[in-house]
Chains A and B, each alone.
Chain A
Amino acid sequence: GAVVSQHPSWVICKSGTSVKIECRSLDFQATTMFWYRQFPKQSLMLMATSNEGSKATYEQGVEKDKFLINHASLTLSTLTVTSAHPEDSSFYICSAGNRDFSYNEQFFGPGTRLTVL
């Protein structure tokens, strides 16, 4: 149980275009979803936390107008990278949790590798 999927697995786009990444909890209801970014050989960096039905909370330094997050249901959250630039190329990982889980554990999706040309 506790499976999280992400789509797409990888995407290549031109500079200036927008890219949408979907994160789904397949067998549980995710009251909270997290979006991370990871550059090569670096640790995970939390971008934002979203609770179902409310606006996402962004970490300091993350532009909310550039990284649009929508958590419209208990099983789906989306991250849209607007007007992507080469410096946005990274590995984007979502995780999902439920406040009723005993460990407060986050379950991770497989990640989306974004390359902006």
Chain B
Amino acid sequence: GQNIDQPTEMTATEGAIVQINCTYQTSGFNGLFWYQQHAGEAPTFLSYNVLDGLEEKGRFSSFLSRSKGYSYLLLKELQMKDSASYLCAVMDSNYQLIWGAGTKLIIKP
């Protein structure tokens, strides 16, 4: 079956760095997405990786290793507004998104 695993909850301190991991097993691979979702709102796109390596976009970076079925989202200089759920999703061979359950990130002052 298809499976996306990510931690349920993480806590970090304002100004610090946090890494959210995601491992996946899917039928084919057409890219991995990270989305941010604040409570009661729809997800918003953060990043897309289809090749191995690191993609940096401001305070957020995303890494992919296809051979290991592994990705991480790195958030630097954490701000209180970064408190949200972070969803890892993999697009399978049918171009369908397979979603992880999300990681709730709690930022403390």
Binding site for B on A (CB under 8 A): 34, 42-46, 49, 91, 93, 103-111, 113
For this complex, 9 residue pairs linking A to B, each with C-beta atoms less than 8 Å apart, are A34-B97, A43-B102, A44-B87, A49-B96, A91-B40, A104-B30, A104-B95, A106-B97, A110-B42
- Interface size on B, as a range, is 10 to 19
Check B60 for interface membership: any CB of A closer than 8 A.
no
Chain A residues with CB under 8 A of B42: 93, 108-111
A42, B101: Cβ atoms under 8 Å?
yes
A105, B45: Cβ atoms under 8 Å?
yes
B48, A105: Cβ atoms under 8 Å?
yes
Within 8 A of A (CB), among B34-49: 40-45, 48
A43, B31: Cβ atoms under 8 Å?
no
Check B99 for interface membership: any CB of A closer than 8 A.
yes
A107 to B48, CA, bound (A): 13
